Structure formats: C-alpha cells, structure tokens
Amino acid sequence: MALSLLLVVCNSYLENSRIHRVYHRRKQIIPTIYVDQSGHGNYSTIQSAIDSVSPYNQDWICIYIKAGTYREQVKIPIEKPYIYLKGEGKRKTNVTWDGHESINTDATFISEADYTLVKSITFINSYNIPPKGSNVVIQAVAAMISGDKSTFYRCGFIGVQDTLWDEQGRHYFKLCTIVGAIDFIFGNGQSIYERCALVVNAGRLNGPGFITAQGRTSQHDQSGFVFKNCEVFGTGFTYLGRPWRDYARVLFYDCSMSNVVVSPGWYAWNSSGRENQLTFSEENCNGIGSNTTQRVPWATKLSQQELQQLTSLSFIDNEGWIMKQPLKVL
C-alpha cells in the first residue's frame, strides 16, 4: 500500500484506533483496513476487505472489524499471506454462516494462506443450532485452517459436528473457546491449544460425543494436537478423542476436566486392532473427568522427553515466527 494511502487511513480512524497505539509502542506501523457494517469504514463486509489485499503480499496488513454479526462466508485464499484479522472481542465481533453440504467448501471461515493472525473474533456455523428436525446432526464446519504458521488468539469457534477443521500446517490457539459435540476439533494439523475452553454440547446426542478426531497418517508425520492448560466442560458426555487416521496423536497436558468426560477416555473407532499405533495421552490433568483408573488399557504413557518435545512451543515453532507477528500474543 502506498505511503500516502496509509497516512490517509491512519489519520481518518485514529480517534477510535487503539491498535495504532499498540503498534507505535512497538515502533511498528502497519496498514489497516476498517470493516464497519454502519458504513463508517473502508468496507462493510469482511470478504470485500480481504479481496482488496494484493496477492502475494509480503508485509502484514490489518483488517480491523468493528463489533457486530457478519452474516457471510469468509475466505483468505492461499495467495494472501500476512493478513491480521482483528475484531473487537469474541463476544462482540462474530461471523455466522450455515454451510453444510461439503466440509471442503462450506466452512464459515476458510484460511488457506500462511501467516494468518486472527484475534478477538468468533466464527459460528449455525446450521445445527438450534436442532433441525428429530435430533439430526450433520457436518457443518465453523472454520477450516490449512495455511502454515497461523495463530488464533481469544477467538471463538462454535458448532456441533466438525466445528474446527485444523486441517494441516502449524497452528497456535491461545485463550480460544471451541464449542461442539462430535469430532469438533479434527484434522491433521500440528497445533498447540493453550489455555483454551473446550465446551461440550453433547446433551442432545443419543450417546457420548468426541472432542478430537486427529488425522496423523504415519509414525513419521509431525502432526498432532496438544492441549495445554485447557478446560473441558459442558453438557452431555464425551470421549477425549477417536482417531481419524491410524497414527492419530493427541495430548492433554495440565488440563482441567469436568465429569463430561467418560471413564474410558478414548475410543479406537476404525483403528480397532491397531491401537498400538495411536498416541492418545493425558498428563498432570485434574478434575473429576481426569480420573484415569478406568481408561482404555492402550492409552499412551509418554516419557518426560516426549512430553517436553510436545508441550514446548518449539513443537510448532522452531523458527520464531510467532514472536515476529505484529502483535505479541504469548
């Protein structure tokens, strides 16, 4: 973006722009586009703001989204890295869509680009909310994340089945709220979820739900879901996870679990007979649901070295890309 245009944008919205003061303290100013449904921003929809960003951009650009409910499908395509979506709070700025025909194309939010940063926004797939007909639930994705080196801070993801498709790439989720009942965090991502709330809404199901369905495909695959200092609570009952692929890897570390977690903890699903290939583990957890005395016998006990490797930020970031983002989120 030309310097003159940057100055116009900064000066026009400086009076309500806390974000510029944050960047000033870090001696970093980035161009900012404003989305406001009332017509007082540069655009009235989030997608039109994303569409305005030049392809193959190599510098961070902020899209600041004013409070409100945005009823649209939002996509950051693969050729648009370094986009920072900034809402005014996960209870104030939300994006709602009801796509449900195909998990590949109908998520409320699709992020294909590397270096995506999102803060203080909630993404909702409303198709199964409220229930349709006689308790029928189908796949309806709130967010699909396939770009590498992406961070979500103080975001919300709300759905019932397949809420968050952590498809592939290295991702960091911190202080996020993720709501669902069936496989509501799934995919082959290599991700750390830190201090997140995993809210189970399985009360409408005829049986227990599943928090995770991880898709690691081989023992050499680096992917896995690590939940660190998270809380698990809600309604109904749930397993901690089942494998989407035969080498699924999930760790709950220092997490608090309410009585929504069923005693076996884990379910082998289509990997029955190959449980030795799965890495489903819990360590240092607390709460009624963390009692492991009746867990499945094939649950994994990791070594201290393995725990250190998986719970360290270097599991997803041995290059320092998180600290190079325009707003410190650690």
Burial of 42 (0-12, 13-18, 19+ CB in 10 A): middle
Q: Among this protein's residues, is 36 annotated catalytic?
A: no
Burial of 26 (0-12, 13-18, 19+ CB in 10 A): exposed
Gap between the Cα atoms of 32 and 250, Å rounded: 37
Which member of 98, 162, 166, 317 is catalytic?
162
Q: How far is CA 276 from the centre of its chain?
A: 28
Pair of tokens at residue 292: 């492991």
Do residues 228 and 256 lie in contact, with contact meaning Cβ atoms separated by under 8 Å? no
Q: Which residues 6+ apart lie within 8 Å of 28 measured at CB?
A: 326
Amino acid in position 37: Q
Amino acid in position 275: E
Q: Among this protein's residues, is 221 annotated catalytic?
A: no
Gap between the Cα atoms of 152 and 173, Å rounded: 5
Pair of tokens at residue 120: 């203080």
* Number of DSSP helices (H) and strands (E) in the chain, helices first: 4, 25
Which member of 106, 148, 166, 183 is catalytic?
183
The total of other beta-carbon atoms located within 10 Å of residue 5's CB is 10
Gap between the Cα atoms of 146 and 164, Å rounded: 11
Residues serving a catalytic function are: 162, 183
